[in-house]
Amino acid sequence: MNQTIPNKTDTLIEMIAAMARLDFSQRVKTELSDDPMDVLAYGLNMLSEELEHKVDEKKRLEEINENLDRFSFTVAHDLKSPILASNGLIDFMQDEVNENGHIPSDSLKEYLGILKDANTQISKLINGILQYSRLENDRMEMSFISLSDLCWEVSKSYQSNDSVSIEYAHDLPKVFHNETALSQVFRNLITNSIKYSDKEFCKIQIEYREFDSHHQIAVIDNGPGLKDNEKKIISNLFENLRNASYESTGVGLAIVEKIVSKSGGRIWVEDIEPTGAKFVFTIPKTTI
């Protein structure tokens, strides 16, 4: 008895010292009894477990807030472009108003078309914001999905574009994911490749590799590729990957990153020689 108490006392002291360092991972082996040392150990274990839970929750909330800050910056940047275009166009229209208070019909038609495009861009950004918000809060319903069928459904959306081809294997396996969300990942990455293509013909390949713990999927294009510093930006998909003359795609890529990470996967980008980019993401294997 005299031998046991000092050992447990030392362990409790070490645990209290760890808690003072904000390390709440330690536990003391104890038994349910009326012994004061056991009661103290049991109470400290419960307190440490609760505090560890609180710390993890705090880290999670800090990460969400950090992501929302970055996302807000991206949204502000993306919205700024069409709004500036609209304001600039209004200035032009004011300058072209003649003494009778009219704008020449040819100019008016052109200006209205530009305004419509700007409003369409803003509408798409708002829809993207709503999608991102839902991903942040909603639980994704998962099921086994045929990758081949999904690729076929997605590629159909681009069949009317004669300057785009999408290639993929027709014997791809099933993966455990949310069908709507995974379709959104493919669509956003493919649309990104088409938007930034510098070729007359945009060639996109969907590549699949299987590993013990996960599926690996890549969307490969023959576009201009990425600079060395731009490759690092993939870790923060809330920023534009291409040069400043291009329309920002931060919202679309933020949605991709959120879907992939929420399902336990990873995403990164690689260069393809001599030109092109390869967006790679993973889907954990799951069995039921």
218-264 pLDDT, tens digit each: 999 988 877 666 665 554 543 443 333 334 456 778 788 888 988 88
pLDDT at position 282 is: 95
83-99 pLDDT, tens digit each: 777 777 777 777 777 66
Helix (H) or strand (E) holding 29: none
Across 48-75, average pLDDT? 74
Cβ–Cβ contacts within 10 Å for residue 287, how many?
5
Cβ–Cβ contacts within 10 Å for residue 14, how many?
12
Helices (H) and strands (E) in the chain, counts: 7, 7
Six-digit token string for 199: 């070729």
Residue among 240, 247, 234 nearest 74 (CA): 240
Does the pLDDT at position 15 exceed 70?
yes
pLDDT at position 151 is: 94
Tokens 């305004």 — which residue? 115
Helix (H) or strand (E) holding 177: strand 174-177
Q: How would you classify the pairing of strands 202-210 and 174-177?
A: unpaired
Q: What is the mean pLDDT of the chain?
A: 78
144-284, CATH topology level: Heat Shock Protein 90 (3.30.565)
Contact 206, 182 (CB under 8 A): no
Q: pTM of the entire structure?
A: 0.59
Six-digit token string for 162: 């004669």
Residue among 120, 122, 142 nearest 286 (CA): 142
Query: Which amino acid is present at 91?
Result: D
Left, alpha or beta for 264 (phi > 0: left; psi -120 to 50: alpha)?
left
Q: What is the CATH number of domain 68-137?
A: 1.10.287.130
> How does residue 214 score in pLDDT terms, banded at 50, 70 and 90?
very high
Contact 217, 208 (CB under 8 A): yes
131-150 pLDDT, tens digit each: 666 676 667 788 999 999 99
Half-sphere exposure of 141 (CA within 13 A, CB side): 2
151-190 pLDDT, tens digit each: 999 998 888 788 899 999 989 999 999 888 898 899 889 9
Query: Which sequence spans correspond to the domains of the chain?
Result: 4-60, 68-137, 144-284
